[in-house]
A and B are shown apart, each in its own frame.
Chain A
Amino acid sequence: MIKLGAVYLLGGLMFAGFAVFSALDRSNRKRFGNALFWGLVALSFLAGDHLGDLGNGFLVLGLAALAGLGLLGRGQPATTSPEERVSLAERFGNRLFIPALVLPLIVAIGVLVIKPMTFGGQPLMDPKQATLISLALAVLAAIGAALVLLRQPLVSPLQEGRRLIDTVGWAVLLPQFLAALGAVFAVAGVGKEIGALVTTWLPVDTRFAAVAVYCVGMAVFTMLMGNAFAAFPVLTGGVAIPILIGHFGANPAVVASIGMLSGFCGTLMTPLAANFNLVPPALLEIPDRYAVIKAQIPTALLMLMINTVLMYVLAFA
């Protein structure tokens, strides 16, 4: 059975490659900062399970210190010039999209076909991690296709990957840092505390008020925690189940479903959902860190209003 460990091994090798090439890149004044940063990430992927909790903790502190002290620069791997790329595009034409299509095709096959398959009573891949395992397999196949079809040099995946990872910089790790913070918050009972505040201080004595408190509460709470999954149990347990479902007799399927989607309105508006909101501007080289959030806020607010009305209309039908 292929497990998540195989994906981590591949990820670790990739980051180790970034670290080595960073150290050799004389165009970057801070090349050893980059090498150390990506090297620590590689260590985490390759050996995180053997470092112990405290070891991992110091590894994280090291990463935060390197980023906080501004010790990362931007590597300049040799790549094709804009003019070369235009002529390459003319030469290859739509063949360029074949590897880009191999990726989703193999991910889809992995998730839909390979995931349910078993071999000698064992699933071929860990069903809980099928998406990431499929993605890793698909990446390998698509890179193979790209190297052959587009005749790219063998080191280009690592050098070009390094070019992109340096474009994003330390923000690469922000989603994982925030996920870890979410776990710390959960253990300390931060969610319960906010939930208690909401239920004590907000009016929930009419149907509409209760619906509005739940929907808006899901969005606001999600913005504070960065994740609708953290908000859902607290507000559903605190507001939706006792008041909307228990007292007013609302349909639980409608309440839960639209409640979660109201939380997602919050996800669109918070920098704490870094993988959706802060990594893309870095990846797209937009100078304003909050540009994507700003583009999403009007849609998110309108959808929050619509969700509130939908829940009010559908839950009591």
Chain B
Amino acid sequence: MLILLGVAVVIVGFAVRLNPLLVVVLAAFTTGLIAGQPPLAVVAAFGKAFNDNRFVSAAYLVLPLVGVLERAGIREQAARLITRLRGVSVARLLISYLLFRQLTTAVGLMPIAGQAQTIRPIVAPMAEAAAAAQDPEITDQTRHAVRAMAAATDNVAVFFSEDIFVAMGSVLLMVGFLTSSKIVLDPIHLSVWAIPTALASFVVHGARLLLFDRRLRRAPKL
């Protein structure tokens, strides 16, 4: 039971808005010390785990590219492109992106798009431009809500479609764990049973986008 104090430190630390990097270090110390490790051993264990997980931060390699494109006006061009198209709404734009992202992810092309390389320079400015076309007096709050919805749409699309691709890490993890528990199955079965949820997520999030758009039109001062 005591070992769960580390989890409690994380929850409380995030809730009172301490700096999250400090919260993580405190939680690691709490957990390690309760497990009976000397402080230096905790430092070393955390250092090793940090070093082993550098691949997580390697994705920031796209930032210089995104920055250069922004310097040359890609966000302005994305916005121009949208305002020139007639009949584009926030919902239509984000539902199209949802569909595109779900289909490409399902065939294993998840890494071709993402928050830094697609949402920030292209999709979010497009969605904001569409919202501004609907309501020329758009507030900053509404702009923030539109951006958050664009980011959420990318996450929802990826999470509920990635398991349709057989060689996805999570599918292989499931196969590995089940095999170790003496349940042998072909990964393709796991992928097939991921399809109903993927379809449902398109309907659910698509419907939410339509409602979101309607709210933007009705109450421009969100």
Residue B215 at the chain A interface, CB threshold 8 Å: no
Asked if A190 contacts B3 (CB within 8 A), the reply is yes
Identify the stretch in A25-33, A175-183, A206-214 within 8 Å (CB) of chain B at 4 or more residues. A175-183
Asked if B57 contacts A176 (CB within 8 A), the reply is yes
Number of interchain pairs (Cβ within 8 Å): 404
Asked if A96 contacts B205 (CB within 8 A), the reply is no
Main secondary structure, interface of A, reads helix
Measured between beta carbons, the chain A residues less than 8 angstroms from B115 are 276, 279-280, 283
Measured between beta carbons, the chain A residues less than 8 angstroms from B192 are 253, 257
Asked if A139 contacts B54 (CB within 8 A), the reply is no
Measured between beta carbons, the chain B residues less than 8 angstroms from A146 are 65, 68-69, 72
In chain A, residues 120-144, which have Cβ atoms closer than 8 Å to a Cβ of chain B?
Answer: 129, 131-132, 134-136, 139, 142-143
Q: How far is the CB of B87 from chain A (nearest CB, A)?
A: 20
Which of B14, B54, B72 has a CB less than 8 Å from the CB of A48? B54
In chain B, residues 145-187, which have Cβ atoms closer than 8 Å to a Cβ of chain A?
Answer: 145, 147-152, 154-156, 159-160, 163, 169-170, 173-174, 177-178, 181, 183, 185
Instruction: Mark B residues whose CB is within 8 Å of A.
Output: 1, 3-4, 6-7, 10-11, 14, 18-22, 24-25, 27-28, 31-32, 34-35, 40, 42-77, 80-81, 108-109, 111-113, 115-117, 119-122, 124, 144-145, 147-152, 154-156, 159-160, 163, 169-170, 173-174, 177-178, 181, 183, 185, 189-194, 196-197, 200-201, 204-205, 208
List 13 interface pairs A-B (beta carbons < 8 Å), by A numbering.
A11-B61, A57-B43, A57-B48, A64-B19, A64-B24, A84-B73, A173-B57, A181-B28, A190-B6, A261-B194, A292-B148, A292-B151, A295-B145
Instruction: Mark A residues whose CB is within 8 Å of B.
Output: 4, 7-8, 10-11, 14, 41, 44-45, 48-49, 51-61, 63-64, 67-68, 70, 79-80, 82, 84-90, 92-94, 96-97, 99-100, 103-104, 107-108, 111-112, 129, 131-132, 134-136, 139, 142-143, 146-147, 150, 152, 156-165, 170-185, 187-190, 193-194, 224, 228-229, 232-233, 236-237, 241, 245, 252-254, 256-258, 260-261, 264, 267-268, 271-272, 274-281, 283-288, 291-292, 294-296, 298-299, 302-303, 306-307, 310, 314
7 pairs of A and B residues whose beta carbons are closest in the complex = A160-B67, A57-B47, A56-B47, A104-B112, A161-B64, A57-B43, A89-B73
Given contacts A185-B6, A257-B191, A295-B148, 17 further A-B contacts (CB under 8 A): A11-B57, A54-B43, A56-B44, A58-B43, A59-B50, A92-B72, A150-B72, A152-B72, A177-B21, A185-B7, A229-B170, A236-B178, A237-B177, A280-B119, A284-B151, A303-B201, A310-B200
